[in-house]
Amino acid sequence: MFNVKRTTIRSAATLAALLTCGSLRAELPATTPPTVGGVEAVGYTTIDANTGAYNQPGWVQRRPFPTTRVHIQRNPGEITVEQWMRWRNKDGENKFRFSEEIEFGLPGRIQLDFYYDWTVEDSKADHLDVAGEIRWAPADWGELPLNPAFYLEYKLTDDDRGGDVIEPKILIGDDFGDGWHWGMNFVYERELSGEKAEEIAITNAISKTITESLSLGMEMAWKRETVDGSRNDPEQKFIIGPQLQWRPTKSMHIDIAGLFGCTEDSPDFEGWLIVGFDFGAPSQKSSNKPVSSRL
């Protein structure tokens, strides 16, 4: 049974207050899109409008959550580079992981990502792995319930850091209306040699559009981790906390999340920072532009 920590409760309460304040202050239209000159305007802001090549909304195209992926981000011909940092603290010990990632949008609702991971522990930087992933969606956004996509990742791990890793995922997500966005991932990760570590995980995230450039939300993740020879003695981890995304320009997004552990096996704190830049204009659907662009 989970031993919920006080910091988690305070974090959740603070986030709830922020979202409530944002909901009251943000001047967003009603759930039914307005009509201007007989033309229906879809999307409360640019980030909520379905402007993608696969009809995906802007928030999907700008990596909304550090821990949860949703549908296809990159449009065909679009390239994005991202710098990631993850900070974990457990019993006063700090560990950092850095990732440099490049993403390519391909036709057919396909996305390819490649990245390099390295760590800093005890003031020492070490290579961890290089990895590639492919993401595919069977249909455009809005054509299937929960907008499913399928994801497969392979990590070539340094020989001193363990065996290679394979990681399939099922991605789902949707809009709730009024600027609310949601995503969930079902994850299986397996080390192919060494201890043959295995992880089963579920991540979940929700956010609210506050302004054209700001979204606030919450993320959580549950993980069950085992190694070969002790599959019946898993480590159970659950983390939860607030997150935000700031979009200072049309081509840049910054994601920040601070998650707090709720079980004995969990890290006390897990922080995320992602900075991304897009190259190559994403496909825009003029019929879905917000009202302000048609006046």
pLDDT in tens, the chain (295 residues): 444 454 444 544 444 444 444 443 344 343 444 433 333 434 457 899 999 999 999 999 999 999 999 999 999 999 999 999 999 999 999 999 999 999 999 999 999 999 999 999 988 999 999 999 999 999 999 999 999 999 999 999 999 999 999 999 999 999 998 999 999 999 999 999 989 999 999 999 999 999 999 999 999 999 999 999 889 999 999 999 999 999 999 899 999 999 999 999 999 999 999 999 998 754 455 444 433 333 3
Structure tokens at 6: 């006080």
207 in a domain, yes or no?
Answer: yes
74 in a domain, yes or no?
Answer: yes
CA-based max dimension of the chain: 68
Q: How many domains does the chain have?
A: 1
1 in a domain, yes or no?
Answer: no
For the chain, strand residue ranges (E) read 35-36, 39-40, 79-90, 93-106, 110-121, 124-136, 149-157, 165-177, 180-191, 198-211, 214-226, 235-249, 252-261, 269-279
What residues make up the domain containing 219? 6-294
Question: What does pTM read for this prediction?
Answer: 0.81
61 in a domain, yes or no?
Answer: yes
* CATH number of the domain encompassing residue 177: 2.40.160.40
Sequence letter at residue 212: E
Sequence letter at residue 93: E
